Amino acid sequence: MNAPANQNYLSEFLGAHEPPCLSLYQPTFRHHPDKQQDPIRFRNLVKTLEESLRQKYPASEIPAFLEPFQSLADDRDFWKHTLDGLAVLGAPGLFRVFKLQRTVPERAIVADSFHIKPLLRVWQSADRYQVLGLSRQEVKLFEGNRDALDEIDLAPGVPRTITDALGDDLTQPHQTVASYGMGAKGTPMRHGHGGKKDEVDKDAERFFRAIDRAILEHHSQPSGLPLLLAALPEHHALFHQVSHNPLLMAEGIDIHPDALALDALRERAWQAVEPRYLVRLAGWVEEFGAAQAKGLGSDDLAQVAEAAVAGRVATLLVEAERQVPGRIDAATGEIEFADLADPEVDDLLDDLGEWILKMGGHIVIVPSERMPTLAGIAAIYRF
Per residue in 93-113, pLDDT (tens digit) is 999 999 998 888 899 999 988
For the chain, how many helices (H) and strands (E)?
12, 16
Round the average pLDDT of the chain to a whole number and report it. 88
Residue 196 confidence (pLDDT):
59
| φ/ψ of residue 208, rounded to 5 | -65, -40
The HSE-up count of residue 369 (CA atoms within 13 Å, CB side) is 1
User: What 3-state DSSP class applies to 381?
Assistant: strand
- The model's confidence at residue 241, banded by pLDDT at 50, 70 and 90, is very high
Is the domain of 153 the same as that of 98? no
Q: Can you name the residues that pair with 312 across neighbouring β-strands?
A: none
Residues 103 and 143 in one domain: no
**Domain check: are 25 and 119 in the same one?**
yes
Which helix (H) or strand (E) segment is 100 a member of?
Answer: strand 94-100
Bigger pLDDT: 188 vs 234: 234
The number of folded domains in the chain is: 3
What range defines the domain where residue 337 resides? 295-381
Residue 256 lies in a domain: yes
pTM of the model: 0.75
**pLDDT over 50 at 190, yes or no:** no
Q: What confidence category does residue 180 fall into, taking pLDDT thresholds of 50, 70 and 90?
A: very low
* Residue 10 vs residue 266, higher pLDDT: 266
- Average pLDDT estimate for 147-162: 93
- For residues 353 and 61, the model is more confident at 61
210: pLDDT confidence band, cut at 50, 70 and 90? very high
Q: C-alpha 251: how far from its chain's center?
A: 21
Based on the domain organization, do 149 and 245 belong to the same domain? yes
Q: Is residue 283 part of a domain?
A: no
Is 137 in the same domain as 272?
yes
Give a yes or no: residue 224 inside a domain: yes
User: Could you read off the pLDDT of 272-305 as tens digits, one per residue?
Assistant: 999 999 999 999 999 999 999 999 999 999 999 9
pLDDT at 376: 92
Residues 94, 60, single domain; the answer is yes
Taking the alpha carbons of 153, 154, 157, 162 in that order, is the dihedral positive or negative? negative
* pLDDT on residue 188: 45
Q: Which of 21-35, 213-227, 328-342, 351-365 has the lowest mean pLDDT?
A: 328-342
- The answer on 150 and 100 residing in a single domain is no
Shared domain for 113 and 249, answered yes or no, is: no
The verdict on 240 and 107 lying in the same domain is no
**Which residues, including other chains, have CB under 8 Å from residue 155's CB and lie 6 or more apart?**
214, 218, 219
Domain boundary among 97, 123, 149: 123
